[in-house]
Amino acid sequence: MPLIPKGLFNSGNSDYSLAAIELPPGSTLPETQAVMQNVSQKLQAHPAVSSVLATAYRVDYANLFINLLPRQERPVSRSEFEAEMRSVFAAVPGAKVSFRSQGVRGDRDLSLTLKSDNGETLTKVAKTLEQQMRQLPGFVEVTSSVAQVRPEILIQPNPARAADLGVSVADIARTASVALLGDSAANLARFNLPDRQIPIRVQVNSTARTDLDTLRQLRVEAQGNGNQRQLVPLSAVTEIRLGSNPAEIERVDRVRQVNLGANLQGVSLGQALGQVRALPALKSLPPDVTEQPAGDAEIMQEIFTRFATVLAISVLCIYAILVLLYNHFLYPLVILVAIPLSIGGALLALLLTQKELGLFALIGIVLLLALVTKNAILLVDFALVGMQQGMPQKQAVIESGLSRFRPIMMTSVSTVVGMIPIAIGVGAAGDTRSPMAVAVIGGFSTSTLLTLLVVPVLFTYVDNWAYHLQQWTKGNQNHPVTSDKP
């Protein structure tokens, strides 16, 4: 079914939107507040926005809850509003502002996870994949956890020079730690109060801690002539420079992982997942790197994998009940023919309307199993009653079609008409439930029309087979097997 868009569910044209503000690691709270106010003012200036609530959960991270005007009052849909604001957010200096997914799990519409024990290879593959994902049409706000780095001051000892001066690595580490972080609690002086003691932490001034020249002039104790000790600058035994490292390293089951995500614009989740897996970076993964979907993509994959099992169990349960009611194994098969006729119609309706084959559409297909068998039961049951009353098979089948046509059409039309408001998305969250109604309308319509033609014809064949099978069984009973024994 490549032409039918696939996904978990469509959040539709809802009346709210979610966004997130990320600042570089090390940002201060006043900087975060300034960005929050700037972004809130830009959002409130949009004619589709009713109100904005901004909340900072960390010093360098904030969430935005955006209330939109009702659909009838705003000039654009939610997706169009987000597309317009992305260009505005791109101009915000010193921060990354992006919209959050309204799915079940994850901050992005599409989430992927790369895992490996080799951190260097994992980082290389993640960066390559991120660049290739940015080139795909419909992918916006592509992110990677490996791209989130934190600036650091790297102090690298020079082993040869430190050995000549008699400076150990422990002395270098202690000097840097006391200057930048302060002394340990056990060695701190304390300010005595009547009821408690307050530790006094001594460290280099905050502005000087980021000055490399100041750090290079820190003194570390070295071995002098004889037993005398002398102080040498830290730059004499180390190399001090600026660097960066990942802001955080994630591990699951002791395996390092990198998360990649992207929001989708005009592309379904299933289509996006297929495009990503067709990228060269994923098609030629190193042997020690594995990929698996995450977030909504993982849930969608699990649902589609298990749906076939659920469908098979449902059909078996229906067949078992019909066998008990009819006391026959063949006539229930005629009734079950209506099920594939309905599934084909449901998929055709989703194809024509381009609704996503997702969770709600699958619920509609399961709902069809109970609805469509009802029409076939009316035809088969009335034909069997007529034959039991002495009516010929052909006449019984014709009479069942004529007499049951009106109730079948009345119930089918009422069901289809009742589903139309849901199918066109009327009411709150109507766009989310729309695929379910479209699947029911398509499946019920084709099943109703084809059942009136297919079921009577198939019933005649099955009834003939049942009659011949009964005659063959009676013939074997009337001619018992002879024995050579006296």
What average pLDDT does this structure show over 312-332? 89
Question: Percent of the chain, pLDDT > 90?
Answer: 4
Longest dimension (CA), the chain: 125
Q: Which CATH superfamily is domain 300-476 in?
A: Multidrug efflux transporter AcrB transmembrane domain (1.20.1640.10)
Give first-to-last CA distance, the chain, whole Å: 68
CA atoms within 13 Å, Cβ hemisphere of 101 = 24
Residue 486 pLDDT > 60: no
Q: How far apart are CA 338 and CA 62, in angstroms?
A: 53
In the chain, the amino acid numbered 100 is: R
Mean pLDDT across the chain: 84
Say whether pTM exceeds 0.85.
Answer: no
What average pLDDT does this structure show over 145-161? 82
485 pLDDT tier (thresholds 50, 70, 90): very low
Question: Percent of the chain, pLDDT > 70?
Answer: 94
**Tokens for 317?**
């349960």
Tell me what pLDDT residue 441 has.
92
In the block, residue with structure tokens 């019909």: 322
Which CATH code fits 108-144+256-294? 3.30.70.1440
316 compared with 1, residue with greater pLDDT: 316
Which residues 6+ apart lie within 8 Å of 223 measured at CB?
165, 166, 167, 229, 230
Domain boundaries, the chain: 1-107, 108-144+256-294, 151-246, 300-476
What average pLDDT does this structure show over 130-158? 85
Tell me what pLDDT residue 24 has.
82
Identify the DSSP state of 357.
B
320 pLDDT tier (thresholds 50, 70, 90): very high
In the chain, the amino acid numbered 270 is: G
The continuous run of DSSP H or E covering 260 comes out as strand 255-264
Question: CATH second-level architecture of 1-107?
Answer: 2-Layer Sandwich (3.30)
What sign has the CA pseudo-torsion 332, 337, 342, 343? positive
**Tokens for 391?**
């009516």
Residue 482 pLDDT > 50: no
430-455, pLDDT tens digit by residue?
778 888 889 999 998 988 888 888 88
DSSP string, 43-109: HHTSTTEEEEEEEEEETTEEEEEEEEPPTTTSSS-HHHHHHHHHHHHTT-TT-EEEEPP-SSSSSSS
Domains 1-107 and 151-246 share a fold: no
Torsion angle, alpha carbons of 74, 79, 82, 86, to 10: -140
484 pLDDT tier (thresholds 50, 70, 90): very low
Question: CATH second-level architecture of 151-246?
Answer: 2-Layer Sandwich (3.30)
DSSP string, 284-327: T--TTEEEEEETHHHHHHHHHHHHHHHHHHHHHHHHHHHHHHHT
Q: How far apart are CA 78 and CA 52, in angstroms?
A: 15
Tell me what pLDDT residue 226 has.
59
Residue 311 pLDDT > 80: yes
- Residues facing residue 457 across a β-bridge: none
DSSP string, 191-220: EE-SS-EEEE-----TTGGG-HHHHHT-EE
483 pLDDT tier (thresholds 50, 70, 90): very low
73-129, pLDDT tens digit by residue?
888 888 888 888 888 888 888 888 888 887 777 678 888 889 988 888 888 888 899
Distance of CA 44 to the CA centre of its chain: 30
